[in-house]
Structure 1
């Protein structure tokens, strides 16, 4: 994660609409009950995802990497009334955790949880997506992109998390790391793919 000036971060947090009670509880439980709580989207990233989803008003969303469900809840808030979020998580120990909070958020009927390797699951999905969010194994980002691109409707959106990888992409000694190499290859792949327009934010 990129380091941000603490003063700026404090100001941003103080001037951003806060979490609803379900997300606040999920945030707390994720920090209490998981080993890597920093993997959770959190307030500002969650708000960003929610705003994008509300602007698009998607019918179908694909999330690659559920974790504890925070980002999924944020994304699902923007679905059309008949919309559905498909969310894939490889760690089966997190499925019931996320399901608990999907239920508390009143979203159980609008979310399909899929367990396993996204690289095997994506080809089986006979769905066209308006929005895809990638936040899973960084070394597999290129594979996720190549598998899902034909399932994104024309004019659809794809968001990928951590594409600067905490500035490791600038560290030549880190480029032998599979995750760093995966992110570098993904950024190049997307940038040179004429089917998409891209922005690193």
Structure 2
């Protein structure tokens, strides 16, 4: 049994630990503990609760208002792993600079990042967004249509990314993607990037943007991107969505194809 004197000696250490990592403890509270409590008491998923808030407090068709309402809920109520406003602006800038005609999003979640990308696309462009979770996909579909985007601009595809990617050319008539945004399971980043390569869905100059490469990180994906010789790359250092004290980053890869291997 630990003596009181020994237990007291650990108090300063524990206090230092809590203070130093308080933002991570807060993230754990909001993302895990609070979510479970609210799931139990409301009978709704966190994503459904966010949708109810957006429906109640936003203006249909007003994209900026819908995004800011999402952000308000995430700052003040519960945590959602949207791309968030800081990284969202980077994503929008990259879309505006590259002017893609075909865009693929892996991980629709609640539709937040799809809205940010879609509003910067030309009228002739098309965004295909893939979501595995049917509940999240239902929320995203409502949010995307609430913002005023139809299926000619934003088409949602429901299913696992490793099943959908091989079907994109035959089923959806896509030849190549100019821009790809990855914001799904980090462990799937590398697998899905290689699937895009294997099915010849990238062309020289295609941009691949991957979120959360610092927190929680995607080390195998980044190691491959840096060493395979098929990409030039850079990291946009930012912060975790809705937590300005937790460092994060987005990877921007530019596909150069086999030229990089020679």
Query: Is TM > 0.5 for Structure 1 vs Structure 2?
Result: yes
8 Å CA contact retained: 1:59, 1:83: yes
Q: Which residue of 2 aligns with 1:158?
A: 208
* In structure 2, C-alpha distance between the alignment counterparts of 1:153 and 1:137, rounded to whole Å: 24
Residues 1:187 and 2:222 are matched in the alignment: yes
> Which of 53, 57, 67 is equivalent to 1:23?
67
Q: Which residue of 2 aligns with 1:100?
A: 142
* In structure 2, C-alpha distance between the alignment counterparts of 1:32 and 1:119, rounded to whole Å: 35
8 Å CA contact retained: 1:132, 1:152: no
TM-score (norm 1): 0.76
Measure how far apart 1:30 and its partner are.
6.1
* In structure 2, C-alpha distance between the alignment counterparts of 1:164 and 1:20, rounded to whole Å: 28
Unpaired segments ≥5 residues, structure 1: 4-18, 167-179
TM-score (norm 2): 0.59
8 Å CA contact retained: 1:61, 1:86: yes
- RMSD between superposed Cα atoms in Å: 2.1
Q: Which has the higher strand share?
A: 2
* In structure 2, C-alpha distance between the alignment counterparts of 1:160 and 1:77, rounded to whole Å: 19
Residues 1:147 and 2:168 are matched in the alignment: no
Residues 1:138 and 2:173 are matched in the alignment: no
The farther-off stretch of 22-31 and 152-161 is 22-31
Question: Which structure has the larger Rg?
Answer: 2
Unpaired segments ≥5 residues, structure 2: 1-22, 24-62, 237-262
Q: Which residue of 1 aligns with 2:17?
A: none
Q: Which residue of 1 aligns with 2:233?
A: 198
* In structure 1, C-alpha distance between the alignment counterparts of 2:131 and 2:215, rounded to whole Å: 20
* In structure 2, C-alpha distance between the alignment counterparts of 1:72 and 1:30, rounded to whole Å: 17
* Greater relative contact order (CA < 8 Å, ≥ 6 in sequence): 1
* In structure 2, C-alpha distance between the alignment counterparts of 1:131 and 1:82, rounded to whole Å: 15
Measure how far apart 1:156 and its partner are.
1.2
Measure how far apart 1:52 and its partner are.
0.9
Aligned residue pairs: how many?
Answer: 167
Aligned to 1:197, the other structure's residue is in SS state strand
